[in-house]
Structure 1
Amino acid sequence: MTAHSPYLASLGEEDRKALEIRLLDRQTGHCFICDETIDLVLHGGQLDIDHIIPRADNGPDEENNFALTHATCNRQKGASDLRVARRIAEFEKLQRTAIGEGKRGANLGDVLGRYNGAKANLKLKRYPDAVEFTLTAVDKNDIRRVPLYKDQLSGMEYFFAVLPLEYLHHDDRINPRSIGANIRGLIEEFLQKRPQLHVALAWWSPESDGSGHIKIFDGQHKAAAQIMLGMKELPVRVFVEPDTNVLLVANTNAGSALRQVAFDVAVMRHLGSSLFMERVRQYKDMKGLPENNYSFSEKDLVAFFRGEHREMLRYIIDAVRDSITHNKDNGLMEFIEWAGKTADRPLAYSTIERTFFSEFIYMKALDAPLDNGMERGENARLLERDQIVRLMSLFAEIFFVGKWDPEIGGRKLENRLQKGDQIPENHLRAWRIAREEILANVLTWVRLVIENYNAYTGRMIDKERLLQYALPEDLWQRIRTFLNNLGALPCWIDKNLSNTVFGAKQNRDFWTDVFKTGKTQTGVRVLAEPLNLQTMIVNRST
């Protein structure tokens, strides 16, 4: 796979061979990615010339941005920045060596060993408010003085310093974990000149001669990524003569019970949507397209940013999700809690993702231009967005608007019911219908209503893209009728089912069986009879 390059395409066979020779000489006879030898005769026909910095990232299409690689190395790395691919190939060698030595994988100690680190101890001279040291192992004999701080809660003393790799060691007792695959993302992040937000944590205690290791116990991924990018020094926060057992407990808790909460899923979707728009802008800039030109497809974007094709697909779908949740016409949004399921709202955003979105958003890239059918109101993604918004709003109208009481909420609702509390029927119905395992099955039946209509009327529709085709108004009426009839089932307000059916969380299969058979697998009768699609789409009020 040779890079898509007008420059390379303009070269004749002899000029291309000459370029290969120049690149190989610049690379001292080695593959740019794996650093193994390249032989122009033995590897003839199995070599690639590729951009070091991808064109999609504004890399120039000129000789100083080309590298010669084994074709197999280039295929395995996809289309990522070759500087990243080179570091990942190097790290994979460290992994293989570490595993061959019986370890679970490479850690910061292996990276330090590869880059001439972990060679020296540090001597400290302590004062009440400062420490002094020299870096003689790297021929720096000047005396350095930095402030000494005290943690008021733990009582531990620490200082900040930028130290050469020679003085840094890995603590595999406090941090026994190996480095994971996310080092790739960190390498990419630092290559984009984004700063490290948190310094590595280390500790120091003197040995018999008064010197001691600076042992890093937290931040090994960030440290390793920076080292592999050529950093010779790293900033660290060093605890001085600490109780290492306390550090061990603190570090363990930080990675488990006290793990920091990530961005809410909804926030991540919004970020993904923004990244999608940014990629669209980049694509148009690189292709020289005018501002209002959207004649390219989602698949074109995925192919163009092929080094991050998985991320690109996620950005596309995130943009669809975000356009639905931030649509001013979406009547269901006021009943959704963005960061979980709380007492005063019946639905969590994560439930929406696993029900409405997983059931009706087409999760693959489209091959039609982004503006296809826009003027006729037939654009697939806009139809999908608008019709999911309409379905969610219909659901809100039937089950929640004027029925859900935030003052009553949902905290331990079934327990309160079992204890004799009087819960309004509309509120109880709304709470039960909103349970994820129930809602997922309800939407499966809504899908059946749509597919049944399409079959009956002879509409040939791709079932994976069900809502990317305009639904006729009489089909919308069928969906409304189905939901009304479903809501009228006595089970949603039957207080006697609180213990046996609604008291404990059930899975989707449980409600699949109930809707198909009318009862649970243990024989508890929930519905008078199994759901029947034909009777459920008949308006019973007429």
Structure 2
Amino acid sequence: MSSHFLSGLNTQQYGQLKDKLFNTQSGKCFICEDIIDLNLHNGSLDIDHVMPLKLGGKDDPMNFALTHSSCNRSKQDSNLEVARVLKRFEKIKEKAEKDNRGPNLQDILATEGGGKFKLNFSMFDGIIRYSLPQLGDNRVYEVPVYTDYLSDDEYFFVQLPIEYIYHDDVINPRSIGDNISKLVKEFYNKNPQLQVSLGWVENQNGDGSEVKVFDGQHKVAAQILLGVRKIPIRIFINPDKNRLTLTNFHAGTTLRQVAFDKSVQRHLGNTLYSQRVKRYQVEHELQEDNLYFSERDLLNYFRGESKEVKRYILDAIRDAITYSPDNKLRQFTELGGRSNKLPVSYSTIEKTFYSFFIHQDVLITPIDHKLEEGENPRELEKDQITELMNIVAEELFIEHFDVELGTYRIENRIQQGENIPINHLRALRMAKEEIMYTWLRYISQIIKNYYIMHGKPIQEDKLFQYKFAEPLWQRIRSFIRNLANLPLWINKEASSTIFGGKQNYGFWQTIFESGKSPANVQVLSKPIDLMQMIVE
């Protein structure tokens, strides 16, 4: 809504208001809080209402702020105070993404001065006594201890300064997504927090303990971003952290109480697998480095939860590949929900690489079988799937896919005449789930054919547990490269036909096998020939 006040100012008066706001804001943009240079940014600055008029803001100098024009155009909320908070989160997110991960509560705490001190407390006769001397508060606070009727866990409630709060990224490995903006707006409008966050401490006889928040990190983060310095928390005392991890896992999977992304579920499953391995070692009086037992042994020992343990084993393999520091495809994979920036979804990774190439049953060989020789079947499987992902990344995405251009409505933009670089278009189309699903299956055929031609018998469901020779890797790379060179991927006229909507797997299988779509429309000049496509 336009400002009658601003439109009534002459050039000199407008300049005076701009100078006044510049000094009031210490020479920084109200939204991004970066430097404003009145000379260098001349003509690229806005004066806007902090509280929009439509929301009851006044049209007078007390409700104006000076911003970069670009920040004002791209702001995430019409209320500039909320927009500033969301811009702070955006900067935190960008910093985390440089490490190829999403932001979490610890990132928010680090930015705002949290997570500095351990909490000193004592417990006696149903009372928790604590103090906050590191903040100059030497008072002794007392709060009652409660006992959970069903679990027998002891806990207490406290409103704690953020300097004593930490994030537990083991029990809760979720990153904080853009949906935090909804919580920020909710709390900014003074709507109450309906559920307190959960944390835990260990009573270590006066040595102090970090208060680790494992549930409700989004609520804590939103409050901290809005300037709240004390957070209400329900704190468990000396809990069984393995049980908390399992409870959180169930909340995000079978109970669906928490919207866990698949990648987060796999990460928690990996943690639960590690816990089962350690428990097996302890209860069998084995040293920590003694892994001379198999995945099958774990299932037999934890017989009452064998289905879950099998899932944890497979989750651990998926998680190790996903977060391998050598995984080049991860930078092009959206690990949490949908993205308008990245071409590959985690769901696609699960349905293709992990579904096709990870052996889905437990092994009977010891976990450390031929580990030192570099021939451990699970390690080979993980390393070689990662290598396949790297080849895909190198041939399709690295220096080809523009993350800034992204994925949003690319086919529609082509139809409207926008010039999309052909390398970007090729990468985007080949990464569509139904397309990648189809061509990755041919890689299994190429591998099987290689072993048949060399007369080597193999177990087909364990393909990636056999060490691939360099000539086989070259065949795989040649196939992907030759497939990428097919003209259909850069055919912009196809944006309104075969690429105009989501097709099923059978649609693309028909095209590759016959050269024609199921409707008998010619798409390729001829069917693909796998033997020709593996030649460099």
Q: 2:359 aligns with which of 334, 357, 362?
A: 362
Match for residue 400 of structure 2? 403
Task: Evaluate the alpha carbon distance shift between residue 413 and residue 394 of structure 1 in structure 2; reply closer, same or farther with a 3 A threshold.
Answer: same
Match for residue 521 of structure 1? 518
Task: Evaluate the alpha carbon distance shift between residue 417 and residue 301 of structure 1 in structure 2; reply closer, same or farther with a 3 A threshold.
Answer: same
What CA distance in whole angstroms lies between the structure 2 residues aligned with 1:385 and 1:363? Answer: 13
What CA distance in whole angstroms lies between the structure 2 residues aligned with 1:405 and 1:291? Answer: 45
Match for residue 167 of structure 2? none
Task: Evaluate the alpha carbon distance shift between residue 279 and residue 528 of structure 1 in structure 2; reply closer, same or farther with a 3 A threshold.
Answer: same
What CA distance in whole angstroms lies between the structure 1 residues aligned with 2:478 and 2:359? Answer: 25
Task: Evaluate the alpha carbon distance shift between residue 514 and residue 195 of structure 1 in structure 2; reply closer, same or farther with a 3 A threshold.
Answer: farther
Deviation per residue, 1:98-157 (Å, 9 max, x gap): xxxxxxxxxxxxxxxxxxxxxxxxxxxxxxxxxxxxxxxxxxxxxxxxxxxxxxxxxxxx
Which residue identity is paired with 2:264?
V
The 3-state SS of whatever aligns with 1:366 is coil
- Asked if 1:505 is matched to 2:502, the reply is yes
Which residue identity is paired with 1:484?
R
What CA distance in whole angstroms lies between the structure 1 residues aligned with 2:341 and 2:293? Answer: 44
What CA distance in whole angstroms lies between the structure 2 residues aligned with 1:302 and 1:317? Answer: 12
Which residue identity is paired with 2:415?
Q
What CA distance in whole angstroms lies between the structure 1 residues aligned with 2:258 and 2:275? Answer: 26
Per the normalisation by structure 1, the TM-score is 0.52
Deviation per residue, 1:347-389 (Å, 9 max, x gap): 1111111111001011111000000011111100000000000
Deviation per residue, 1:57-116 (Å, 9 max, x gap): xxxxxxxxxxxxxxxxxxxxxxxxxxxxxxxxxxxxxxxxxxxxxxxxxxxxxxxxxxxx
What CA distance in whole angstroms lies between the structure 1 residues aligned with 2:258 and 2:341? Answer: 22
Which residue identity is paired with 1:383?
L
Match for residue 318 of structure 1? 315
What CA distance in whole angstroms lies between the structure 1 residues aligned with 2:357 and 2:318? Answer: 11
What CA distance in whole angstroms lies between the structure 2 residues aligned with 1:387 and 1:496? Answer: 37
The 3-state SS of whatever aligns with 1:445 is helix
Task: Evaluate the alpha carbon distance shift between residue 294 and residue 437 of structure 1 in structure 2; reply closer, same or farther with a 3 A threshold.
Answer: same
Give the conservation status (yes or no) of the 8 Å contact 1:341–1:347: no
What CA distance in whole angstroms lies between the structure 1 residues aligned with 2:388 and 2:505? Answer: 21
Deviation at 1:498, TM superposition (A): 1.1
Q: 1:460 aligns with which of 457, 466, 469?
A: 457
Match for residue 290 of structure 1? 287
Q: 1:445 aligns with which of 436, 442, 446?
A: 442
Aligned pair count reads 293
Q: 2:377 aligns with which of 376, 380, 384?
A: 380
Which residue identity is paired with 2:345?
A
The 3-state SS of whatever aligns with 1:266 is helix
Q: 1:389 aligns with which of 375, 386, 393?
A: 386
Give the conservation status (yes or no) of the 8 Å contact 1:313–1:365: yes
Per the normalisation by structure 2, the TM-score is 0.53
The 3-state SS of whatever aligns with 1:501 is coil
Task: Evaluate the alpha carbon distance shift between residue 411 and residue 454 of structure 1 in structure 2; reply closer, same or farther with a 3 A threshold.
Answer: same
Structure 1 ranges of 4+ moved more than 3 A: 189-197
For structure 2, the residue ranges without an aligned partner over 5 or more in a row are 1-147, 158-255
What CA distance in whole angstroms lies between the structure 2 residues aligned with 1:438 and 1:196? Answer: 53
Q: 1:330 aligns with which of 322, 327, 330?
A: 327
| Higher radius of gyration, 1 or 2 | 1
Match for residue 471 of structure 2? 474
Give the conservation status (yes or no) of the 8 Å contact 1:355–1:439: yes
- Asked if 1:534 is matched to 2:534, the reply is no
Deviation per residue, 1:331-353 (Å, 9 max, x gap): 00100111123111101111111
Task: Evaluate the alpha carbon distance shift between residue 195 and residue 365 of structure 1 in structure 2; reply closer, same or farther with a 3 A threshold.
Answer: farther
What CA distance in whole angstroms lies between the structure 2 residues aligned with 1:297 and 1:285? Answer: 15
Query: Where do residues 61-72 of structure 1 align in structure 2 (5 Å cutoff)?
Result: none
Q: 2:296 aligns with which of 296, 299, 316?
A: 299
What CA distance in whole angstroms lies between the structure 1 residues aligned with 2:151 and 2:280? Answer: 21
Deviation at 1:531, TM superposition (A): 1.1
Which residue identity is paired with 1:430?
A
Q: 2:262 aligns with which of 261, 265, 268?
A: 265
Deviation at 1:485, TM superposition (A): 0.3
- Asked if 1:414 is matched to 2:411, the reply is yes
Task: Evaluate the alpha carbon distance shift between residue 282 and residue 525 of structure 1 in structure 2; reply closer, same or farther with a 3 A threshold.
Answer: same
What CA distance in whole angstroms lies between the structure 1 residues aligned with 2:343 and 2:490? Answer: 16
Task: Evaluate the alpha carbon distance shift between residue 190 and residue 356 of structure 1 in structure 2; reply closer, same or farther with a 3 A threshold.
Answer: farther
What CA distance in whole angstroms lies between the structure 2 residues aligned with 1:467 and 1:409? Answer: 32
- Asked if 1:343 is matched to 2:325, the reply is no
What CA distance in whole angstroms lies between the structure 1 residues aligned with 2:152 and 2:349? Answer: 34
What CA distance in whole angstroms lies between the structure 2 residues aligned with 1:196 and 1:350? Answer: 40
Deviation at 1:501, TM superposition (A): 0.2
What CA distance in whole angstroms lies between the structure 1 residues aligned with 2:365 and 2:427? Answer: 39
Query: Where do residues 198-217 of structure 1 align in structure 2 (5 Å cutoff)?
Result: none
Give the conservation status (yes or no) of the 8 Å contact 1:297–1:367: yes
Query: Where do residues 42-81 of structure 1 align in structure 2 (5 Å cutoff)?
Result: none
Give the conservation status (yes or no) of the 8 Å contact 1:336–1:346: yes
Query: Where do residues 18-57 of structure 1 align in structure 2 (5 Å cutoff)?
Result: none
Deviation at 1:442, TM superposition (A): 1.1
What CA distance in whole angstroms lies between the structure 2 residues aligned with 1:190 and 1:526? Answer: 63
Which residue identity is paired with 2:388?
L
Which residue identity is paired with 1:284?
Q
Deviation at 1:194, TM superposition (A): 8.8
Which residue identity is paired with 1:469?
Y
Match for residue 58 of structure 1? none
Deviation per residue, 1:418-474 (Å, 9 max, x gap): 111100000000000010101011110111110110110112111001001100000
Match for residue 277 of structure 1? 274
Task: Evaluate the alpha carbon distance shift between residue 261 and residue 275 of structure 1 in structure 2; reply closer, same or farther with a 3 A threshold.
Answer: closer
What CA distance in whole angstroms lies between the structure 2 residues aligned with 1:347 and 1:196? Answer: 44
Match for residue 483 of structure 1? 480
Q: 1:429 aligns with which of 418, 426, 431?
A: 426
